[in-house]
Structure 1
């Protein structure tokens, strides 16, 4: 499909973009409708009469005579006035690099773009020029070149080494919407698919070795599903919102680690060091925490406030001073646990097994409904 820009009687204002179909008579009919005149002839920028539609090229700027005023058209395009038409060659100085093009290239293909409005009529925008007469545009020349080529031939071509994101920003800046849509599709298709596969022990150890001991290691939101992280030094690592479902963390040192809102369901943390650990709102349902040490000699209390500890096995764990406020311990096993100074306000303790527990000075709040606790020793 060819598109041309039509003006009346040599004028350079109020042009219309028209698709060229069929014969020359069809074009004159379309021109009459678009321009609101009785079109009788078609002329090029040099005043030459076009008598065959095959002579018309894509993006041509043409002039339509109104009735029998063909002489007016020719007069308008003779002499100095001819230099003022839309077929003018002009030079753009974009970020210090010059591009030579025609006014019709900037105007015809994207008539609603900023470039079209800047150069449709001469000096309407008061465009600044350098000492050589080139119009100054303060943008990146590397990103502007693909846009100019698109306006020339309608194809998106980006040379190697040019970031499509930069071209996209230029297309948006100049208001070239069709090109922006093409670039968005190109960028989206070129991005690799998101990798949600869990990290392996080997990958994580390599990650650990590449980080200095003085740096905070951020593993926030990472996927460690089923990973073997047993016996590793994981002190002070940020596992906030990480997926550790079914992971093996037995004998790991998690002192001071941040496990807030992490998923530890069905994980194994047997004999792990959890001194001063932060496990606010952690989901540890069905996890095994047998023989864990939550007591920090420095006095920093492990915080499990709001944690989901349903069906957790914490048998034999050292839990002095632990904060279990509003945590859920339904059906948990707390046999032989030391809960000296523990905070249990609002904790759900339904069906908890406390056999051989030590509970001295704990802060209690009775949850709603009956609590059935197994008492099997006189030492309770």
Structure 2
């Protein structure tokens, strides 16, 4: 164990097997409220490999070079749209709020400058939602920026909404049955009582979203992020939450019967009175989770 008190000292990092070398200044100055800044602020101790001095972080190192370059010069990298979802996930983990906002700005600018290969535009959507009944069943909306719109009660069933931005949108009671929403971003969106039955939400970001009483039965939620999301009384029967991140999420009274929770992060989650009967929790991360009153009859732990 050693403290990094010298702000100009070299730091050797092993991020999921990929090795990097940087300085404490780089890790602490641009994003002083980040997890990395906290680690190397001098207030904490960090564990080093006694043989080579590397500090190990259990994350995918594929995009960490972009993290370091952001911390060095404050420039968001030029990537394909699908790669930004992965980088955004890493920025969220390291609590790099500036990078998260920068990625959103780049994608919004790109959407305005380029002609989208979709059937409708944001302006078309705004015109449509002014009518009494709105349905986009089976429509290709991939890549659109629909953030902050009132899309409550809209029917998106069977639509392609891959990489769509729904951040802070009002989607209460909207229908997403069997949609392809891979990589979609629902950060801080209102999704109360929404139907996601059979939806593909692989790699989707639902951080801070309100999903109270939402129906996610049979949904594919692999590698999705629900950090700090409100999933009270949500229906997650048979949902695939493999590698999903629900750290700090509220799942009070949620039904997870038959859900797949392999390598699912439920650290600090509220699972009070949740239905976990006969669920396999052997490979689930439950450190600090609240399980008071949860139905764990027959659960594998």
Q: TM-score range by the shorter chain?
A: 0.5 to 0.7
- Name the residue aligned to 2:260: 348
**In 2 relative to 1, CA 375–275 (structure 1 residues): closer, same or farther, beyond 3 Å?**
closer
- Name the residue aligned to 1:335: 247
- Name the residue aligned to 1:372: 283
For residues 190 and 290 of structure 2, what CA distance do their matches in structure 1 show? 27
**Alignment counterpart, residue 324 of structure 1, candidates 236, 259, 262:** 236
For residues 276 and 179 of structure 2, what CA distance do their matches in structure 1 show? 26
Instruction: Determine whether 1:203 maps to 2:114.
Output: no
1:168-212 Cα deviation digits (max 9, x unpaired): xxxxxxxxxxxxxxxxxxxxxxxxxxxx83422122112223x1x
- Name the residue aligned to 2:273: 361
- Name the residue aligned to 1:178: none
For residues 263 and 322 of structure 1, what CA distance do their matches in structure 2 show? 20
For residues 371 and 274 of structure 1, what CA distance do their matches in structure 2 show? 30
Contact 1:243 1:264 in 2 (8 A): yes
Q: Where in structure 1 are there 5+ consecutive unaligned residues?
A: 1-195, 296-300
Compute the TM-score of the two structures, normalised by the length of structure 1. Answer: 0.44
Q: Which runs of 4+ in 1 moved over 4 A?
A: none
Q: Within 5 A, what are the aligned runs for 1:39-118?
A: none
Contact 2:266 2:289 in 1 (8 A): no
Compute the TM-score of the two structures, normalised by the length of structure 2. Answer: 0.56
For residues 198 and 290 of structure 2, what CA distance do their matches in structure 1 show? 32
Secondary structure class of the residue paired with 2:128: helix
For residues 365 and 310 of structure 1, what CA distance do their matches in structure 2 show? 21
Contact 1:240 1:259 in 2 (8 A): yes
Contact 1:325 1:344 in 2 (8 A): yes
Relative to total residues, which structure has the larger strand share, 1 or 2?
A: 1
RMSD: 1.9
Q: Where in structure 2 are there 5+ consecutive unaligned residues?
A: 1-116, 292-301
1:366 to partner: Cα distance: 3.4
